[in-house]
C-alpha cells in the first residue's frame, strides 16, 4: 500500500525566508508521481508542483522547488522568499503507476509571519 507522511503539523516562518516542508513516501512501485497542493483558508486545493519517479532533475515552478531524494523516499517542498500569501495548508500526494487516485499526507499548516 502507498503511504505519505508529513511529520510537521505546523510551521512558522518569517516573511522572505525560505521554508522546507517535509514529505516522505512509501511504495514498492518503481513508477510513481509526487504532487504538492496548497489549501488556503478559503478551502480550494491548488496544484503547485509535480515530480515523476524517473525524473532526473528536481522539479521547479517559480518560487517552488521539489527536493527529490529517491533513495530516501523523500519529496520535500522548498518555498523560496516566502510571502504572507503562502500561509496555508500544504499537502503532499502520490500517484502510482496504473492507479489514478492520489494518496495524500495529513498536511502541514504553514504560517508566514510579517
Partner 1 sequence: DSGVTQTPKHLITATGQRVTLRCSPRSGDLSVYWYQQSLDQGLQFLIQYYNGEERAKGNILERFSAQQFPDLHSELNLSSLELGDSALYFCASSVPTGNNEQFFGPGTRLTVL
Which chain residues interact with partner 1 by CB under 8 A?
Answer: 33, 35, 37, 42-47, 50, 52, 91, 93, 95, 99-107
Task: Give the three-class secondary structure for 85.
Answer: helix
| Nearest distance from C-beta of residue 52 to partner 1, angstroms | 7
Strand partners, 76: 67
The residue (of 68 and 91) whose beta carbon lies closer to partner 1 is 91
Strand bridging mode 10-14 / 108-113: parallel
| Nearest distance from C-beta of residue 38 to partner 1, angstroms | 11
The residue (of 52 and 81) whose beta carbon lies closer to partner 1 is 52
Asked if residue 82 lies in contact with residue 19, where contact means CB atoms within 8 angstroms, the answer is yes
Strand bridging mode 108-113 / 64-69: unpaired
Asked if residue 63 lies in contact with residue 79, where contact means CB atoms within 8 angstroms, the answer is yes
| Nearest distance from C-beta of residue 16 to partner 1, angstroms | 28
The residue (of 82 and 95) whose beta carbon lies closer to partner 1 is 95
The residue (of 2 and 20) whose beta carbon lies closer to partner 1 is 2
| Nearest distance from C-beta of residue 88 to partner 1, angstroms | 14
The position carrying cell 530516501 is 72
Amino acid at each position: 500500500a502507498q503511504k505519505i507522511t508529513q511529520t510537521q503539523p505546523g510551521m512558522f516562518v518569517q516573511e522572505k525566508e525560505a521554508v522546507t516542508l517535509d514529505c516522505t513516501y512509501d511504495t514498492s512501485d518503481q513508477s510513481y508521481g509526487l504532487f504538492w497542493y496548497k489549501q488556503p483558508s478559503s478551502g480550494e486545493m491548488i496544484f503547485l508542483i509535480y515530480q515523476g519517479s524517473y525524473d532526473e532533475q528536481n522539479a521547479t515552478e517559480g518560487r517552488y522547488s521539489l527536493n527529490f531524494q529517491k533513495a530516501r523516499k523523500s519529496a520535500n517542498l522548498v518555498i523560496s522568499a516566502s510571502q504572507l500569501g503562502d500561509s496555508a495548508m500544504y499537502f503532499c500526494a502520490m500517484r502510482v503507476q496504473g492507479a489514478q487516485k492520489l494518496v495524500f499526507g495529513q498536511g502541514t499548516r504553514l504560517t508566514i509571519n510579517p
